[in-house]
Amino acid sequence: MLEIVSLTKTFGKLRAVDNFSMEVEKGEVKALIGPNGAGKTTVVNLVTGVLSPDGGRIRLDNHCLLKLPPHKRIKTGISRTYQIPRPYPNLTVLENVLVSSYFGAGLKGEEAISNAIESLKFVGIYNLAEKRAKELNSEQQKLLDFARALSVKPKYIMIDEIGAGLGISEQEEIASKIRELGRKGYGVIYIGHLMKMVKAVSDTVVVMNEGKKLFEGTYEEAVNNEEVIKIYLGERYAKS
């Protein structure tokens, strides 16, 4: 289980993450949603070790993550995608994924290559393997970022805003991949603003606001919760 317990992070006077707790089990897909600036990406940065918290704990299958530097956290089985993908622009798609395969998953030779290819096939961009990353469009860059996150062979993956800016059919395709990850036994935290995708992927929805957990429950419960509607969803989601 990935456990985030009473996590707090301040930037000056701003409590970006405020006594926030959530957990995700293997095989479970949880959505983490909330208004812009709620603290969602900051949670991801705290889990991966890009940022250090002011308080709280993060445990992954009984490892205390906070004692570990980012590269060692990856080895315990945690991975993430980026809200704004940042591939190595001059490397090919395959080379980009190989970097994660070598240095994230710790694989060598043929094993590293077949793992990289498997990730590209899973996200559906194996046909672009020989293209340079800088030649990809924004959707393809998001898929490459997804493949890179998978090729470190994580047990838990945090997917930050992968659907934004994509067309409806691409969103549906990515949603089905995310569901498949859950079925394959990954623990998934899916962050996004697109409620269609949230509905399609998640077993449970966590709503964050001003750094705090506002709500946790099923999608149906979330979209019918008065506070969630007021703070985030707006009346259009309210059911009479």
Ligand X SMILES: Nc1ncnc2c1ncn2[C@@H]1O[C@H](COP(=O)(O)OP(=O)(O)OP(=O)(O)O)[C@@H](O)[C@H]1O
Q: By the criterion CB under 6 A, which residues form the site for ligand X?
A: 11, 14, 16, 34, 36-42, 83
Which of 20, 41, 93, 122 binds Mg ion (CB under 5 A)? It is 41
Binding site partner of 238, from ligand X, Mg ion, none, Cβ cut-off 5-8 A by kind: none
CB 190, min distance to ligand X, A: 13
- In terms of phi and psi (left: phi > 0; alpha: psi -120 to 50; beta: otherwise), the region of 140 is alpha
Comparison of 16 and 107: residue with beta carbon closer to ligand X: 16
Dihedral angle computed from the Cα positions of residues 148, 149, 151 and 156, in that order, rounded to the nearest 10 degrees: 180
Separation between Cα atoms, residue 174 and residue 121, nearest integer Å: 13
Comparison of 43 and 112: residue with beta carbon closer to Mg ion: 43
The pair of three-digit structure tokens given for residue 90, joined into one six-digit string: 């001059």
What radius of gyration do the chain's Cα atoms show?
18
CB 41, min distance to Mg ion, A: 3
Asked if 45 is part of the footprint of Mg ion (rule: CB under 5 A), the reply reads no
Separation between Cα atoms, residue 54 and residue 64, nearest integer Å: 15
Binding site partner of 42, from Mg ion, ligand X, none, Cβ cut-off 5-8 A by kind: ligand X
CB 103, min distance to Mg ion, A: 25
Comparison of 106 and 165: residue with beta carbon closer to Mg ion: 165
Binding site partner of 19, from Mg ion, ligand X, none, Cβ cut-off 5-8 A by kind: none
CA distances from 186 to 53, 182, 228 (A): 25, 5, 27
CB 83, min distance to Mg ion, A: 5
Separation between Cα atoms, residue 34 and residue 62, nearest integer Å: 28
- Altogether, the residues listed in the chain come to a count of 240
CB 67, min distance to ligand X, A: 22
Separation between Cα atoms, residue 53 and residue 118, nearest integer Å: 35
Comparison of 98 and 228: residue with beta carbon closer to ligand X: 228
Q: Tell me which residues touch Mg ion (CB under 5 A).
A: 40-41
